[in-house]
Amino acid sequence: MNETLNTIRTRRSVRVYTEQQVSAEDLNLILEAAVCAPSGMNFQDWHFTAIQKAELLVQLNDKIKSAFAKSDNPQWQERGHSNTYCCYYHAPTLVIVSGKADSPLSPSDCACALENIFLAAKSLGIGSCWINQLGQTCDDAEVRAFLIEELGIPADYKVFGCAALGYAPADMPVKERKMKEGVVTVIR
């Protein structure tokens, strides 16, 4: 099987990370892969914010938790009040993918970029996981202010997803994944 197909087949979400940081060189390669993704009309109306500063990630997680705590959703409330909840699984790197809030293309553009991030990471031996919680809370006033003022995300952008990046522990078993059946139709 060719290397690209093998990377696609063997990628899995990683939810436990060692403390080893992703190197600047590898992070650049991953971000280059992100901006190579297709985008509707080739507008490329997206922004990638890579954070490798642990204190900033903790602050971001706290803002997300505060937003969850205000919600009516019992699962979100539980996360908001938990002392241990960490939406990014303590990964050493988080890439926030944002896009123009008023563009109907943004969710698809950002999803394409995220998949490129995951596959590029896998090809470099780096684990990854889609982190959705910032997308769910980015309209909260405090989260929004943090994104704009502390992280420099454009004010007219919204978060559509994030990628946690780092290294899985060496003894982590490779997860088997059962593919749902009946989801492909070929008409010739």
Ligand X SMILES: Cc1cc2nc3c(=O)[nH]c(=O)nc-3n(C[C@H](O)[C@H](O)[C@H](O)COP(=O)(O)O)c2cc1C
Contact residues for ligand X, defined by CB under 6 A: 12-13, 15, 129-133, 175, 177
CB nearer to ligand X: pick between 103 and 128:
128
User: Which amino acid is it at 139?
Assistant: D
Inter-residue contact 160 to 97 (CB < 8 Å): yes
- Which residue has tokens 């502390």? 150
CB of residue 121 to ligand X, shortest distance in Å: 12
CB of residue 134 to ligand X, shortest distance in Å: 9
CB nearer to ligand X: pick between 53 and 177:
177
CB of residue 133 to ligand X, shortest distance in Å: 6
CB of residue 102 to ligand X, shortest distance in Å: 21
What is the Cα–Cα distance from 31 to 76, expressed in whole angstroms?
30
What is the Cα–Cα distance from 110 to 65, expressed in whole angstroms?
24
CB nearer to ligand X: pick between 78 and 149:
78
Tokens, residue 95: 């890439």
The values of phi and psi at residue 43, to 5°, are -70, -30
- Beta-bridged to residue 164, according to DSSP, are 94, 129
CB nearer to ligand X: pick between 129 and 138:
129
